[in-house]
A and B are shown apart, each in its own frame.
Chain A
Amino acid sequence: MNQTDVRNQTDSRPHAMPPEETPRVDLWADVLIGGCMAMASMGIFIASGNYARENMPVSPEVYPRLLAGLLGPLGLYLLGRSVRRLKHSPEPAGRRKRIWPVIATVFLALVAYVAVMTMAGYVVSTMAYLVFMMRYLGERRLGLIAVWVLGVTLGLYFSFQQILGVPLPRGWLGS
């Protein structure tokens, strides 16, 4: 196994490609982001007008408007550049494997963890989250899961709550 293979296995970054080989879906993302940036800039520019104060040489609206004034044109430039590149980008080689369901699951699990923490407290929510995530990611060794779950949950509890004096969220079951 050479170094490149190892790197491809562990490299989670999008692989750097020359612009002319950027996949169409990524260019469409840039089109969307460029357009959103331009529209957001316009919205910020308009909304900033509410913060104007006459008795100040540099009023609160000046700085955000300056930034929005820079971001808007750059967003439009990005949009235009991406549209130009779309004409030359390669057609997709095959169906890309959908990763968004996995990302959505992980994201929603995090949101649920935080939500449950507000109700049930740190210990219960953390244990539940760790068990769910480890099982979801494919870990089947229950003994290992138990060791890590208990170790991390209680270790952090002891470190933060007792040593550092940082109170952790409490719920109806205590911490």
Chain B
Amino acid sequence: MPMDAYLHYLWIAANPMALGIVTLGVALGIVIGALPGLTATMGVTLLMPLAISLDLGPHLSLAMLIGIYVGAIYGGTITAILIATPGTPASAPTVLDGFPMTQRGEAGRAIVWATLASFVGGVLGALILSFLSPQLSRFALRFSYHEYFALAVFGLSMIVTISGRDVLKGIISGLAGLLLATVGLDPVAGIPRFCFGFPELFSGIGFIPVLIGLFAFAQVFSEIPELSRKGFTLPHLRFSYPSVKEFFRYRFTFLWPGTLGTFIGSLPGAGCDIASFVSYNEAKRLAKPGDRFGDGEPKGIIASESGKSGCTGGAMIPMLTLGVPGDAVTAVMLNALVVQGLQPGPLLFRDHADVVYPIFLTMILANFIMLVLGLLSARYTSRMILIDKRVLLPVICVLSVIGAYSLQNSLFDVGVAVAMGLIGYGMKRWEYPASPVVLALILGPMAEQNLRRAMLMPGASPFDFFTRPLSALLLLIAAATVVTGLWKHPGWKREEG
């Protein structure tokens, strides 16, 4: 491509108006992502009419949505770190190490690590999107029902890794989550299962209300007794940026999960939620002696953030090359493209290069803007934990109630969130981890649907899962993850001893 073409695309992506629109999008996205219950999908969905009504043209409308996407995926991290409440499901693994860092007074540092990791992962994803879209999309086409089932099983095998001290309780939580995911209309036969005559349950138990309950409300319930006993004491808070040497020490943890997240994002329907858990698991699998995963280890934050941000670029790959959305957010963006008169697919690159190539540059710019906003605000954002909890905890409850309500304008979802809050408190009290429940709710439907669809195919056999190379490989990796996770787990060895 001639140099003046690159310069032309750069101007489209980086002129002052475009930069302003992307900055607005990133800022809005960060706020939306930080609010419990408001996901990146909701943010893009709610603001898409605004973006289109402003009549900015295809590129600027998309630029705003990309900014919201990048910002929202990052924004969920802030509340995950500060108050153990992931703003988006993809930030759930960040709680595991982010909140312990807050508890030892390093909230600002945790946010800085998360910002840097999101930036590196996001830029990596955007670069892979720019240069390897056609190749990755061809690979993604090889995924059928068997491979998606195997991917779901692989994702579920992470439960062993994220279970914390007691693997048995983690597995029980995961299985409970998988059973909860079966409530609702059967995905293949369409009959209601475990609905007990309640039409509100036909659409199943949404994982966002469960996430809000298990994390936000449960955290509030567990902090209030301490607060009423001891009153509010100002927590210790210190802030420092990591050094360049520290940054390079974790370079592998920045790069590998970001690459992995991009790859997972390129699989239609996989999404950033899976990417963040898989990336966390991968970092934990490669842990060195002295790494304290689950106890405030920066690698845990870096891996999950890099992975989920890499996924944002990856999810754009099937959307642009095949016209198939990579996740729920890109499904909305696909709609935005079509409304603007653009048909995603192979011909988009040829016929609308002046839209596609600036999109790549906009993804990179959005991540730079997110980096600047995140680093500048980290010191002040972290001071949120200094707010008197007698004020903060009720506000968190209100935000969570409104967040749960806003999903479907349904008070039933709020009821689910409140009930799960009580259950989540019990789980915290008796050390049953909540993350496996969330992971199971996300992956359970994917596993069941693809298993059953695979078996509906003509001539299907259960052995097909083991004879198809990709499926067999993923199942093997899942089995290895479970076995090595159990083998390495100190609790298991103590039990065996």
Contacts and interface: CB of A to CB of B under 8 A. Distances in A.
Given A58-B455, A129-B398, A102 B228 contact: yes
B147 to A, nearest CB: 17
Contacts of A97: 229
Contact of A64 (B182, B231, B393, B460): B182
A57 interface: yes
B46 interface: yes
Contacts of B221: 103, 106-107
Nearest to A70: B175
Given A58-B451, A133-B394, A110 B233 contact: no
**Most central of B171, B388, B422, B430 by chain A CB within 10 Å:** B430
B223 A12 contact: yes
B496 interface: no
Given A10-B235, A60-B186, A137 B228 contact: yes
A53 interface: yes
B142 interface: no
Contacts of A33: 172, 430, 432
Contacts of A68: 179
A57 B188 CA distance: 11
A37 to B, nearest CB: 6
Contacts of A6: 103-105, 235-236
Interface stretch (B243-251, B352-360, B408-416): B408-416
Contact of A110 (B171, B193, B228, B418): B418
A64 B411 CA distance: 27
B391 A144 contact: yes
B188 A56 contact: yes
Given A67-B179, A137-B224, A160 B390 contact: no
Contacts of B495: 19, 81
Given A13-B222, A99-B225, A130-B398, A64 B46 contact: no
A113 B413 CA distance: 14
Q: Per DSSP, are chain B's interface residues mostly helix, strand or loop, or mixed? A: helix
Query: Interface residues of B toward A: which range?
Result: 35 or more
Nearest to A139: B390
Interface in B388-410: 388-391, 393-395, 397-399, 401-402, 405-406, 409
Contact of A14 (B223, B230, B429): B429
Contacts of B401: 110, 113-114, 117
A19 B395 CA distance: 36
Contacts of B194: 44, 47, 64
Interface residues of A, number: 73
Given A9-B230, A129-B398, A130-B394, A165 B456 contact: no
Contacts of B394: 129-130, 133-134, 137
A70 B179 CA distance: 11
B369 to A, nearest CB: 21
Contact of A63 (B402, B418, B451): B451
Interface in B206-222: 217, 219-222
B75 to A, nearest CB: 14
A33 B225 CA distance: 23
- The 8 A-B residue pairs with the shortest CB-CB distance, nearest first, are A133-B394, A99-B225, A137-B390, A139-B390, A60-B186, A12-B222, A6-B236, A71-B175
Given A10-B235, A47-B194, 5 more contacts: A29-B426, A51-B191, A114-B411, A137-B224, A148-B391
29 contacts: A3-B104, A3-B236, A6-B235, A9-B230, A12-B226, A12-B428, A13-B428, A18-B494, A26-B431, A44-B194, A53-B189, A53-B191, A57-B452, A57-B456, A60-B188, A64-B182, A74-B175, A75-B172, A106-B220, A111-B418, A114-B411, A114-B414, A138-B231, A148-B395, A152-B398, A156-B399, A156-B402, A164-B46, A164-B406
Interface of A: 1, 3, 6-7, 9-14, 16, 18-19, 26, 29-30, 33, 37, 44, 47-48, 51, 53, 56-60, 63-64, 67-68, 70-71, 74-75, 77-78, 81, 97, 99, 102-103, 106-107, 110-111, 113-114, 117-118, 122, 126, 129-130, 133-134, 137-139, 144-145, 148, 152-153, 156, 160, 164-169
